[in-house]
Structure formats: structure tokens, C-alpha cells
Amino acid sequence: MTESKKLNLYVLSDSVGETAFKLAQAVMAQFPHVETTYIRYPFMHTEKQINEVVQKASEDGGIVIHTIVTKGLAQQIHQACQLNHVVDFDLLSPLLAEITKTTGEEPTHEAGAIHHLNEKYFDRISAMEFAVLYDDGKDPKGFLEADVVLLGPSRTSKTPLSLFLAGKNLKVANLPLVPQAHIPEELWKVDRKKIIGLTNDVEVLNNIRRERMIAYGLNPDTTYSNVDEIKNELKFAQDLYDKLGCMVINVAHKSIEETATLILEHLGLDDYQPNLTKTSK
């Protein structure tokens, strides 16, 4: 049986090094019989660090690959590798040079710039987690941290609306309203502008609830779908909205997107740009 060949790949970066590592993996996937060891060196910034890594690569016949954008650092790596007879591959500089030549624009030479683009993604994930954590009034403390608090009787689109707004990087908490139910103290401490009261037409809500019960294989004619009960719930909700002095939206004939647009406009966030320094607990 043929002994598998071994290769040490030294993966260098002036940031976290994910780009170089993923590319190295993609290349080595084409060589299934080569036993590859990836030796990663993120956050490379000094000549001393470079020389130490290149020396190790020289000793074991390894190959150096890197995605260095810090000005002058890639050239230092190349020179050190030449002096030590080490093969090196600069994965970014040739393309950067060609783009500069084509566009006339100079690169920023900012290490890890791609991760700034991804901060919005991580903010959105945090907002989604917040919406799930504080869905259906699970923890009233969330009202004090939320960008938006949605109130409404059952089947007024609170949860899907919460998730849609979370996709806009807004932290949303919601509370289902049931007559005579306790209203958390925290709600009265929230800025009224952040509170949105959702309501619906009696007939529309009756149909939605009946269809919901049928979908569960249950009798559609229950207290949950009773017209008088629905009227009672809507009145209870409206009375609370009046006390709070909050914005009220009838979602009867509106899509989630339409309702969300009204909320964003109300908050002055129709061109919402998240504060990337804000985090969710």
C-alpha cells in the first residue's frame, strides 16, 4: 500500500485568517491522498513574527500561503520566504493590484475589512434571538430593552411581525392581550412611541381563528372563535391602547410588510441603519 504524502501548510493572515484557511481547504480537497496539516497564524503584524513562521516552514518543507493586506507586510513575507527557500503564495495582492489598475482606486489595506460587512448579519441574528426570547410576553424585562413592543389579541400577527422587524435589526418584544389578564409593570415604563397596538376586524379575526382550529383538527366553534368574545378582546385591547396613548394599527387587510413599513415610518426608521455598537443581552 502506498504511503500517503504529507504536507504542512502555513496559513498566515493579518486578521482571523478564515479566507486563507477556507481557500487552502478547497484546494487540498482536490488531493485526497495528501495528509495535510494546517498551521494557522492569525493577526500577523511584525517582521519578527514573519521570520519565526518562515523559519519553521523552511525546516519542514512547508508551503506558506497568506491573505495579508497590511501595507508592506506581504512583501516582507515574500522576501523572507525567498531568503529561506520557502514557497509562498500571496492570495490577495495580485488581485488587489489588478483592481487598482482597472479602477484607479487604491485599497484601504484594512485587515479584516470583510468582517465589518458581516457585523450587520450578526446584529440581525441577535435581534432574531431577542424576538424569540421575548415572544408572547415570556419575560416582561424584555420590554425595557426592546426597540419595539407589540401588543395585541391572539392572531393579530405579533410573532411574524416581530421576526420580520428583527430582520431589520430591531429588537422586538410582544405581549398577547387577554381580558382581565395582568399587564406587566414594565410596560408602563416603556417610551410610548415604541409601543404598537395591533387590532383587527371582528369578522376577519373570527375567520382566522376558526381556520386555525380546523387546521388543528379541532371544533372551530369555541370560545376562542366566538364573535362576542372577540369583540370583548378587541375592546380590552383598545382600552389599553387608549390608556397608553400608543400607535394603533388594524392589520385586517395588511400584509406583514405593510404593517412593518407603518411601524418603521412611525419610529422614523424607514431608512433604518442599525447601530453596530449596540448589543443584545
DSSP state, 90? E
What's CA 20's distance to the chain center, in Å?
A: 23
What's CA 203's distance to the chain center, in Å?
A: 37
Q: Is 158 annotated as a binding residue?
A: yes
Q: Residue with C-alpha cell 421576526?
A: 163
Longest dimension (CA), the chain: 87
Give the 3-state secondary structure of residue 270.
coil
Q: Which of 128, 92, 129, 137 is nearest to 113 (CA)?
A: 92
Q: Is 108 annotated as a binding residue?
A: no
Q: Is 67 annotated as a binding residue?
A: no
Q: Is 154 annotated as a binding residue?
A: yes
Q: Is 93 annotated as a binding residue?
A: no
Bind-site residues: 152-159
Bind-site residues for ADP: 152-159
